[in-house]
Amino acid sequence: MEAERGRQRVVIENVRPEVDAGRFPGKASLGEEVIVEADIFADGHDLLAARLLYRREGSPGWTEIPMAHRVNDRWQASFRPGGLGVYEISVTAWVDRFATWRRDLEKKQAAGVLETADLRAGALLLRETAAPELGEDTRALSAVADLLDAGTVTPGAMEAALDRGLALLVEHYAERHFAVTYSRTPTIRVERERARFSAWYEMFPRSAASEPHRHGTLLDVIERLPYVAGMGFDVLYLPPIHPIGRTHRKGANNAPGAGPDDPGSPWAIGSEEGGHFSVHPALGTLEDFRLLVDEAAEVGLEIALDIAFQCSPDHPWVREHPGWFRHRPDGSIQYAENPPKKYEDIYPLDFETDDWKNLWEALKQVFLFWADTGVRIFRVDNPHTKAFGFWEWVIPEVQRSHPDAVFLAEAFTRPKVMYRLAKSGFSQSYTYFAWRNTAAELKDYFEELSRPPVQDFLRPNLWPNTPDILPEQLQVGGRAAFRSRLLLAATLGASYGIYGPAFELGEDRPRELGSEEYLDSEKYQIRNWDLEDPDSLRDFIARVNKARRENPALQQDRNLRFHRTDNETLLCYSKRDAATQSSVLVVVNLDPHYTQSGWIDLPLEALEIDTQRPFQMHDLISDARFIWSGPRNYIELDPRSAPGHIFRIRRKLRTERDFDYFM
């Protein structure tokens, strides 16, 4: 084996996707093309052959796909996974002696220096390949070898030597002398489409009642399902639905003292009525929740449940497992703090507890319990305050019995921490989108998210608002800001979400100047929303979501490309779907107050647009159509009427009538 290694000449480096030298799996989804790349080269000038190898974990054999040389010794191949689970990939390569011989033969013929010895060299390679057991193929290879061995350079011999069918036959049977296989075996976790492409709507069930001041129920949420589905969302996300503690319960606007009718924060989980395995009695029963899951599916919605691993002082675990919590010097349990903020109504779990194994198992059972009710999407609250090792263990554990489970990490924390959580198994991740406002900020951030190495392990989920975050842009920008931020979230990312009805009704009142907290936040009180408000953005949201569903280019993250404009308040970008050969161009006015205009520059060849002919731009929001010509075109956007365009590009006009009609 050592002697064999000494004669191996090929080098394989920089395989992608490979996350942290194979420490973590990359991400892919059903229906998505997995592109594998590698730097492959050797000494000298010989031609090489390379194969992508892949198999589902546990399968005995590998599937092989030829790799193609792209540029600068970078090779590429792709495959589409056939099922959920973890896939192994590898790359093997070798010096292709026959292809090298054919290339040199053509060069010598063109230069007029071809000799009979050159043909005989090819005959030798063919005889090495033509093993007796190959039958008819052996006879075909031997026949060409005899022709090349005849000692005369004839047109027939040259035609046979350069025949494409012969090359394919040799490629199929030839030995891979001194082949090199990549030293590691990277893995890719394949999840269902919803992990890659989704539109989320968040609502508080206790605010779902049609009558003011009544505590909403899960049955009220069922009545709200057509409203949510009608806007084109496919995931309905509910904050925690568990019993809420009374000890140190917070009042309206996070007041330290709660009144007798204050419902408390849903994230202060646990009371005498139960903990993480229970439904708040005011919301209904477990049977009501199962009915909600079933009814949601009937209108095309999945229920996503918030999983918050923390407890109120009244949670049963506090009494039954006091060792799962950190204690202060006086023996009392340490409540949650983010100085100077104090959260006396919440006890965080201690992941350094001596009883960590039982704690981990109990938390896994929370996921499995709700999975058994039909939930397959989990939004995890503050995962960055729990041990990374726990997530690396529990997510594959849950997916082992429920391979279609999807996990969203709500972690607004430092970039490297967010990235580690994504590597640890979370299907999707919250991002800093809410705080990226200028064209330069958005471009820099999303080029980071949509390019290697981040694209290999993180799928962004973009939220213009959450119950915790009312960004300044929404506080001061009016209705136009809400529309432009939704347009950005829904098209920059394949997955996005809004906290409603606060979003579509334009809720923009902060608790105080300089705060991102809502005034009269639903986190601490019940709200009644006028869903029939004529200023609601529900129709606009529905049009945007319809464009997302009908255009595969908007269902991906890795295909995002930005384009130059001569006005820094206009952001222009495109997405292209290779399978359908369709492209979408988005232009957004980032100024919510004033009309902005400018020229945009498009790479027509990259978008496969004929540079010599006009092309049609179909705005999927207004349904207007425009005829553009050439790479440079003019845009004008009034935020009061049109914060942006989602253009579907029609690359070729069939007739002059098309041109006349759309003008």
**Helices 388-401 and 356-371, packing angle to 10 deg:** 40
pLDDT value, residue 656: 46
CB 21 within 8 A of CB 183: no
In a domain, 153, yes or no: yes
In a domain, 113, yes or no: yes
Instruction: Kindly state the average pLDDT of the residues 198-206.
Output: 98
Closest listed residue to residue 41, CA positions, set 2, 84, 85, 72: 72
pLDDT value, residue 488: 98
Kindly report, residue by residue over 426-462, the tens digit of the pLDDT: 999 999 999 999 999 999 999 999 999 999 999 999 9
Kindly report, residue by residue over 64-120, the tens digit of the pLDDT: 999 999 999 999 999 999 999 999 999 999 999 999 999 999 999 999 999 889 999
Residue 660 clears pLDDT 80, i.e. is over it: no
Query: What is d(CA 385, CA 350) in angstroms, rounded to the nearest whole number?
Result: 10
Strands (DSSP E) along 269-412, which ranges? 302-307, 310-311, 336-338, 341-343, 347-348, 377-381, 406-410
Kindly report, residue by residue over 630-641, the tens digit of the pLDDT: 999 999 999 999
Q: Residue 34 forms beta bridges with which residues?
A: 79
pLDDT value, residue 653: 55
Domain boundary among 191, 222, 256: 191
CA distances from 449 to 80, 180, 508, 649 (A): 23, 33, 28, 25
Closest listed residue to residue 310, CA positions, set 217, 255, 219, 381: 381
pLDDT value, residue 663: 32
Question: Active site includes 410?
Answer: yes
pLDDT value, residue 155: 87
Matching residue, tokens 């965080």: 348
In a domain, 536, yes or no: no
Domain with 641 in it: 555-662
| H or E segment and range at residue 486 | helix 478-492
Kindly report, residue by residue over 122-135, the tens digit of the pLDDT: 999 999 888 777 78
Share of the chain above pLDDT 70, in %: 97
In a domain, 484, yes or no: no
Residue 658: CATH number of its domain: 2.60.40.1180
Query: What is d(CA 27, CA 196) in angstroms, rounded to the nearest whole number?
Result: 9
Phi first, then psi: give them for residue 565, nearest 5 degrees: -130, 160
Domain boundary among 191, 217, 240: 191
User: One of 410, 508, 557, 591 is an active-site residue; which one?
Assistant: 410
Low-confidence winner among 60-64, 139-143, 384-388 (lowest mean pLDDT): 139-143
CB 397 within 8 A of CB 364: yes
Domain boundary among 140, 166, 191: 191
Structure tokens at 8: 């191996």
Please enumerate in sequence order all residues whose Cβ is within 8 A of that of 399, keeping only pairs 6 or more positions apart, or say none. 405
* Share in percent of the chain as helix, strand, coil (round to 5): 30, 25, 40
User: One of 234, 302, 381, 456 is an active-site residue; which one?
Assistant: 381
Q: 314-339: buried (b, 16+ CB within 10 Å) or exposed (e) per residue? A: bbbbbeebeebbeeeeeeebebbeee
Residue 48 clears pLDDT 80, i.e. is over it: yes
Count of the separate structural domains present in the chain? 2
Q: How far apart are the first and last CA of the chain?
A: 72
In a domain, 200, yes or no: no
Which SS3 state, helix, strand or coil, does residue 646 take?
strand
Instruction: Kindly state the average pLDDT of the residues 34-47.
Output: 97
Residue 41: CATH number of its domain: 2.60.40.10
In a domain, 283, yes or no: no
Query: What is d(CA 637, CA 620) in angstroms, rounded to the nearest whole number?
Result: 15
Residue 652 clears pLDDT 80, i.e. is over it: no
Share of the chain above pLDDT 90, in %: 88
CB 145 within 8 A of CB 169: no
In a domain, 146, yes or no: yes
Cα dihedral across residues 413, 419, 425, 426: positive or negative:
positive
Low-confidence winner among 20-24, 78-82, 137-141, 293-297 (lowest mean pLDDT): 137-141
pLDDT value, residue 3: 55
CA distances from 81 to 27, 32, 62, 450, 578 (A): 12, 8, 13, 21, 17
Query: What is d(CA 134, CA 127) in angstroms, rounded to the nearest whole number?
Result: 12
Instruction: Kindly state the average pLDDT of the residues 268-285.
Output: 98
Q: Residue 493 forms beta bridges with which residues?
A: none
Kindly report, residue by residue over 336-354, the tens digit of the pLDDT: 988 888 889 999 999 999 9
Query: What is d(CA 287, CA 289) in angstroms, rounded to the nearest whole number?
Result: 5
In a domain, 31, yes or no: yes
Residue 510 clears pLDDT 90, i.e. is over it: yes
CA distances from 532 to 221, 529, 539 (A): 17, 9, 11
Question: Active site includes 381?
Answer: yes
Query: What is d(CA 309, CA 479) in angstroms, rounded to the nearest whole number?
Result: 36
Q: Residue 200 forms beta bridges with which residues?
A: 235, 497
Which SS3 state, helix, strand or coil, does residue 470 take?
coil
